[in-house]
Amino acid sequence: SAVISQKPSRDICQRGTSLTIQCQVDSQVTMMFWYRQQPGQSLTLIATANQGSEATYESGFVIDKFPISRPNLTFSTLTVSNMSPEDSSIYLCSVAGTSGGDIQYFGAGTRLSVL
C-alpha cells in the first residue's frame, strides 16, 4: 500500500490569491494524479503528473490555472491560481499502488473555500 500525506488539509482563501497543495508519498511512484471534487459531486481528474515531464491536463483544466510540479518520484504540488469562489472544492492527490498497480490510493484531500 501507499501512504499519502497531503497538506494543507483545509484552507480559506481570498478571491484572487493562489494556494499550493502538497502531496508526499511514502514510496516512489511513476504517476501521481490530481482530482477535484466539487461540493456534492463526484471526482474529476485535473491532471496526471509524471516525474521529469510536464503534467498532462484533462479537458477543461489548463496549466495557467492549475500549475503542477513533480520534482521527484515521491512529491508533487498543485497550485490553484487566481482563485474565485467557483474553485471551492476538495482537491485530492492519488497514486497507483506499487504492487502491480491494482489499487489507486488517495490522500486525505484539501478542502478549499474561496471567499
Partner 1 sequence: ELKVEQNPLFLSMQEGKNYTIYCNYSTTSDRLYWYRQDPGKSLESLFVLLSNGAVKQEGRLMASLDTKARLSTLHITAAVHDLSATYFCAVLSAVGKLIFGQGTELSVKP
Omega of the bond prior to 71 within 30 degrees of 0, cis? no
CB of residue 82 to partner 1, shortest distance in Å: 26
Comparing CB distances to partner 1, the nearer of 75 and 105 is: 105
Of the candidates 30, 34, 63, the residue with the CA atom closest to the CA atom of residue 46: 34
Indicate the DSSP class of residue 87. Answer: G
Does 53 participate in binding partner 1 (rule CB under 8 A)?
Answer: no
Site of grid cell 502538497: 22
Tell which positions 8-37 bind partner 1, by CB under 8 A.
31, 33
Return residues touching partner 1 (CB under 8 A).
31, 33, 41-45, 48, 58, 92, 94, 102-109, 111
